[in-house]
Structure 1
Amino acid sequence: MMRRFQHYIDGAFEDGPAGFESLDPATGEAWAIMPEAREAEVDRAVRAAHRAFRAPDWAGLTASARAKLLHRLADLVERDASELAALETRDTGKIIRETRAQIAYVAEYYRYYAGLADKIEGAHLPIDKPDMEVWLRREPVGVVAAIVPWNSQLFLSAVKLGPALAAGCTVVLKASEEGPAPLLHFARLVHEAGFPAGVVNVLTGFGARCGAVLTSHPKVAHVAFTGGPDTARMVVRNSAENLARTSLELGGKSPFIVFADADLDSAANAQVSAIFAAAGQSCVAGSRLLVERSVKDAFLERLMAKARAVRIGAPDDPETEMGPLCTARQRDRIEEVIAASSAQGARLVTGGERVGEAGFYTTPAILDCSEAPEAPCVTTELFGPVLSVLAFDDEADALRLANGTDYGLAAGLFTTNLTRAHRMTRGLEAGVVWINTYRAVSPIAPFGGHGLSGHGREGGLAAALDYTTIKTVWLRTSDDPIPDPFVMR
């Protein structure tokens, strides 16, 4: 029998008015029934969050009390990490060795923001009027619509829920219709942690009947979205209805730059991690390899050997290094882009082939795009295990290629020359730059980009402040009569 999951709205678990099947990417077969939220469910969830935002059992809590709830949630995530990891692997195809490690670390995000809850401070202003005291209060913005994609969804939820709850907001969390199982289970941990009803609501559904209703709802004050630029444009258009703030963590076409003086073995391992880990289904995937011309062939040989050695298999096998893509649609799109790129002169060095009869598997692909620098594989975010390779001659050439995109999320840089690293870091148009490493994250470090990669930051104190608004308070300290009422003070 297939498993059935429920929404979590206003402190209660419920079925949706309709359900839809969720496919196991490893087999292509349905394994669970998910509830589909439509306009009525979204409206109830937002209104519940709005009531909770003003209710004394949440609004009246001290920051320290909110912190205790977040600490409790972190403990529960840690306790259920194995079950959450198994659900994510089953519903999205991410390999179990990654989901286990990632979800165990997710708990640290909730602990970090628990620690920040009582450190979101206002300020006293040295005002230029001697009979006035003026201070600033940082207050929560209100109801947050948090929308996350299927990949790394517990992590991408934590970087939104953690700071929003620490600041005192309430949340309606929309899980992707592709693989929502782990977040629907996560709702049970929210309930067990003891958050008041309506503070966190979790649902899933499709764009027009769920996402659009949520992002345009008049009681939503902030939309925190992770996904692609096309959907983000719709989110921004929807937010014109409620004038909600937006923070957008979007995709990327991140350059991975290797200079001739780099430790090539280390760089090759990092490049494998950057593009083939998670089957390339990551917003920070280092999908454009820019390698100094004098070492291009040698470096490409290393990469070809490593790509061909990647162990492809069932995502729940701890020995598997790369599982399936999440959907058949994504696999088909990758095949189309590889074919179009080859037609424009890109040379398929290895990979890009289907694996087996069942599931959505493909082999790691590398394309040498020296003769086709504008091929679709170079310019398009593919969200899959496809690496495009270009050569450069010097630092200026590397920067030209690296910045030759409308995205600006992440960049990787491999060199042993410290002064070069500083020069390149200044010149790279990216929100995150990794030097001699890749795919490193921490709750302490802000994360985000610019251009088609969005705006706003997740992680660090900056994220918590993003869920607050400033209230300016004026107190007149003089007992003298108010002077001329027709003159502004």
Structure 2
Amino acid sequence: MSTRQYTHFINGRFDGDAASYVDRKSPASGELVARFATGDVADMDRAVAAARAAFDHGPWPRMSGMERAEVLNKFADLIRKNFDRLVRIEVEEVGKPIRFARGDIEGSVGLIRYAASLAMQMSGSTYTNLGANKTALLMREPVGVVALITPWNFPALILMQKVPFALAAGCAVVVKPSEFTSGSAFELAALAAEAGVPNGVFNVVSGKGSVIGQSLAEHPGVDFISFTGSTRIGQNVIEASAKNIVKTSLELGGKSANIVFADADLDAAVDGALMGVFFNNGECCVSGSRLFVQSSIAEEFVRRVSESAALLKVGNPFDEDTDIGAMIDSKHMSTVMGFVESGVSEGAKLLTGGSAVENSAGNFVQPTVFDHVTPQMTIFKEEIFGPVLSVTRFETLDEVVALANDSIYGLSNYVWSKNIDTVMTVASRLKSGWVQANTVIDGAPQLPLAGVKGSGFGYEMGQAGFEEFTQIKTLFIHTGSRQPVFAK
């Protein structure tokens, strides 16, 4: 396996050799897989200046929607052409199983295709009923230079939940990817340039979030900040954006409820319980990490979930049969194991797992299931971001809604029931931006994702996500003669 090396991608090209690099070792094997240039404030200044010039003076915002859509579709074609390479990079840097990495890249293509369609439909509205000789135009325009700060768990997919929508609107972007998983951002920026995205429209600077992420969020040349990451860092982004009074969209942490009623399709719900928490190694903001099971089916259902979890294959993410890969690094693995220890010490019943995989060069954690978890326990309240499931039993609909809403987060929730009345009632009362019924971690590019409470605000994907990258300008027109007010 050869080591990939990247310098910053600014103004349509990669920089020359950098003064220093961050080494990225595979979380599954410990092998060096990539090196990313270590950026500083000056690098970020260059990237923002390039984006500013491209937006203020370049062709991209002034192209027709049809022209931008054509370039975006070429971009999607190039991703498909380089599909296997992009999948391999996701696996190497994140440690996720290869079958899920393929889904990420496939999903990225779909997001770009949908964003391209929105570029062709971008429109405003007209008011012709304001009175004699009065007309108003509401003109939708690109918001400007956009700062995109992305996490390490879905490097390509989350980036493509942002970039193509911003580009479709006519914006220019500066991307700060995670220092753990920057490879995808660099590869995608280069492919976008090859597709015809003009110089300066798609820039990437790698390095420490505390240095270049902070400078990007505070930069006076930025018009909008879109951030995906932890709630704690999201608070820092809000504080940084306040210095320049910049529009901000945040997709933050989650502690999703996965609610199973007695009348659910239990075979599907068992798989949904496993998928909900073990997908992407459990490193997923919409993870259904709190499983609520109605008491009348709890014993049998929890037994099936626990036994199935114990059979999941943990290990080499390049193995087609692997279900759970490696934690992103040893520090995060220690954090996850700390949550497991707290579950044991606070009285939850450990049914399976509960330890790291021994005799491994990588950061592997066994799929872990806790039963009889109460709302007072740490594993009920805090986002673990690992393959750890907590099970809580409930009796009534009112009870489980209260339990599900007992969280500082409000990103996603899941409901399993064959009764449409139950589904609709529960969905209407759950305090989250996203509710799915009889499926889990599902969706489509047309459907927006948003959080409430500690999970943030603003939209990604869908028409609403596209409109985040635009702003409305009102043009009020008076035709004919105007009745004087002050003129004598």
SS in 1 for 2:321: coil
Match of 1:388 in 2: 390
Q: CA deviation at 1:353?
A: 1.4
- Paired with 2:403 and 2:348, the residues of 1 have a C-alpha distance of 16
Larger deviation, residues 284-293 vs 466-475: 466-475
| Residue 114 (structure 1) aligned with residue 116 (structure 2) | yes
- Paired with 2:303 and 2:455, the residues of 1 have a C-alpha distance of 31
AA of the residue aligned to 2:156: L
**TM-score with structure 1 setting the length:** 0.97
| Residue 290 (structure 1) aligned with residue 292 (structure 2) | yes
Q: CA deviation at 1:308?
A: 0.6
Match of 2:323 in 1: 321
- Paired with 2:471 and 2:18, the residues of 1 have a C-alpha distance of 34
Q: CA deviation at 1:317?
A: 1.2
Q: CA contact under 8 A between 1:127 and 1:134: conserved in structure 2?
A: no
**TM-score with structure 2 setting the length:** 0.97
Q: CA deviation at 1:181?
A: 1.4
Match of 1:92 in 2: 94
Q: CA contact under 8 A between 2:272 and 2:440: conserved in structure 1?
A: yes
- Paired with 1:454 and 1:368, the residues of 2 have a C-alpha distance of 29
Match of 1:4 in 2: 5
SS in 1 for 2:325: coil
| Residue 366 (structure 1) aligned with residue 378 (structure 2) | no
1:406-485 correspondence runs (5 A): 406-478=408-480, 480=481, 483-485=484-486
- Paired with 1:290 and 1:485, the residues of 2 have a C-alpha distance of 69
1:368-421 C-alpha deviation (Å, 9 max, x unpaired): 134x43111110101100001101011011101111101111111111112111
Q: CA contact under 8 A between 2:128 and 2:134: conserved in structure 1?
A: no
Q: CA deviation at 1:128?
A: 2.8
SS in 2 for 1:359: coil
SS in 1 for 2:161: helix
Match of 1:224 in 2: 226
AA of the residue aligned to 1:11: G
Unaligned runs of 5+ in 2: none
Q: CA deviation at 1:174?
A: 1.1
- Paired with 1:314 and 1:108, the residues of 2 have a C-alpha distance of 28
Number of residue equivalences: 485
Q: CA contact under 8 A between 1:287 and 1:386: conserved in structure 2?
A: yes
- Paired with 1:176 and 1:250, the residues of 2 have a C-alpha distance of 15
Q: CA deviation at 1:343?
A: 1.2
Pick the aligned partner of 2:130 from 104, 128, 131.
128
AA of the residue aligned to 2:122: I
- Paired with 1:389 and 1:475, the residues of 2 have a C-alpha distance of 61
Instruction: Call closer, same or farther: CA 1:348–1:486 in 2, change over 3 Å.
Output: farther
Match of 2:46 in 1: 44
- Paired with 1:120 and 1:200, the residues of 2 have a C-alpha distance of 20
1:175-228 C-alpha deviation (Å, 9 max, x unpaired): 101121122211220121111110000121112210000011001011001001
Match of 1:66 in 2: 68
Match of 2:142 in 1: 140
Q: CA deviation at 1:482?
A: 6.1
- Paired with 1:290 and 1:97, the residues of 2 have a C-alpha distance of 28
SS in 1 for 2:293: strand
- Paired with 2:487 and 2:397, the residues of 1 have a C-alpha distance of 63
Match of 2:14 in 1: 13
1:447-489 C-alpha deviation (Å, 9 max, x unpaired): 12101111111111111111111111122211x36612479xx
Larger deviation, residues 135-144 vs 16-25: 16-25
AA of the residue aligned to 2:100: E
- Paired with 1:11 and 1:32, the residues of 2 have a C-alpha distance of 21
- Give the 4+ runs in structure 1 shifted more than 3 A: none
Q: CA contact under 8 A between 1:17 and 1:37: conserved in structure 2?
A: no
Q: CA contact under 8 A between 1:219 and 1:242: conserved in structure 2?
A: no
Instruction: Call closer, same or farther: CA 1:177–1:56 in 2, change over 3 Å.
Output: closer
AA of the residue aligned to 1:264: L
Q: CA deviation at 1:106?
A: 1.0
- Paired with 1:428 and 1:187, the residues of 2 have a C-alpha distance of 38
Q: CA deviation at 1:127?
A: 4.7
Match of 1:248 in 2: 250
1:275-286 correspondence runs (5 A): 275-286=277-288
Superposition RMSD in Å: 1.4
- Paired with 2:27 and 2:437, the residues of 1 have a C-alpha distance of 34
AA of the residue aligned to 1:359: G
AA of the residue aligned to 1:345: G
1:47-100 C-alpha deviation (Å, 9 max, x unpaired): 110100022422321111111111111111111111101001001101111111
- Paired with 1:241 and 1:17, the residues of 2 have a C-alpha distance of 30
Q: CA deviation at 1:28?
A: 2.5
Percent identity of equivalent pairs: 36
- Paired with 2:65 and 2:323, the residues of 1 have a C-alpha distance of 42
- Paired with 1:486 and 1:76, the residues of 2 have a C-alpha distance of 63
| Residue 53 (structure 1) aligned with residue 55 (structure 2) | yes
